[in-house]
Amino acid sequence: MTVLPFTRPGIGEAEIEAVREVLESGWITTGPKVQALEQELAEYVGGGVQMRAFNSATSALEAVLLVAGIGPGDEVIVPAISFVATANVVLRVGARPVFVDVDLHTRNLDAESVAAALTASTRAVIPVHFAGLAVDMEPLYRLADKHGLLVLEDAAQAIGTGYRGRKIGASGNPVCFSFHPNKNMTTIEGGAVACNDTAMLARLEQVRFHGIARDSSGHMDVPEWGGKMNLPDVNAAVGLVQLARLDDFNRRRRELVQLYYQHLQESALLVLPVDGDGHSWHMFCVCVDHAELGTTREAIQARFSEQGIAAGIHYPAMHLFSLYRRMGYSEGDFPVAERIGSQTLTLPLFPAMRESDVEHVCDTLNTILTS
């Protein structure tokens, strides 16, 4: 039986040929292809920002926190629903992640929840544009300006997302993207930071490659710690082809989502994600009340599997992982995130899907909900 995955990267002959060209060029690590990708990403996002490529969005997030001087004794507010990297990078720099609850339909945090979590130790907030739906950023910007907070946008799932007439990343504050294979465009592994702060950009370049700085004569110095976070040209070559296809990818995703909405009906048993202007639709995540159905999520996944469908889980509530329980978090702290974490199912969504695939997924889910 052919299994319909919850996602699949759209790799074609153009990407394969681009990699071949880089391999045959003799320059396969960070070089001209990375510079070209950074330039084209900056032009795509707009707003006059510059881009710096990294080997992952996780590295990009960590680098921004390091450059911003966030560390021991500091608190960083993050949503309780996201991939765990969002909180892990805060711990990595020695700060404390402070979780807040999210909305059931958007799975995003809002300015009110952030304001309620502020303390004298709060230094930053990391809003996550979940599944490609933009967080309402204007109230967050105002709150951050009032309290002197860094806003570091986790746009790992939101390349191509629009917000109030411009793309996510065009704001000028640091915004991090992911190009992992399950994202809307891929560099195999990779990420990038969009920013318009030239001082921050210069330090990001140092942090991503061993802390190295060079003067106008090319003399090398190491003024601060740096990691090994650079993106190779092989990856960037894939990204350049993918970026040219991104708008078509996202357009197809929106078409498929509209089919999901046509065939699924929200009810007490099924919570659908909300649509919104500029949504790039990285994932289509629903909540199924398996307890009310007298079953388990694992049993529902097994029924999907019997029909040749792979349903993912994005994501468990982060504060309930053992790592964060040891910091004092527990069940009941964030009820909406916990409901999402226990009920969520990620339905297949990728550009190569056929309309009949969506109908098959919906027929299977509707049968589960009514049987």
Among all residues, which ones are annotated catalytic? Answer: 183
Taking CA atoms, 131 is separated from 83, 170, 223, 283, in Å, by: 11, 19, 38, 5
DSSP assignment of 104-161 equals: TTT----HHHHHHH--TTEEEE--B-GGGPPP-HHHHHHHHHHHT-EE-EEETT-TT-
Q: How many CB atoms lie within 10 A of CB 221?
A: 11
Instruction: State phi, psi for 286 to the nearest 5 degrees.
Output: -115, 165
DSSP 307: T
Cα dihedral value 268, 270, 271, 276, nearest 10: -120
DSSP assignment of 191-243 equals: EEEEE--HHHHHHHHHHHBTT-EE-TT--EE--S---B-PPPHHHHHHHHHHH
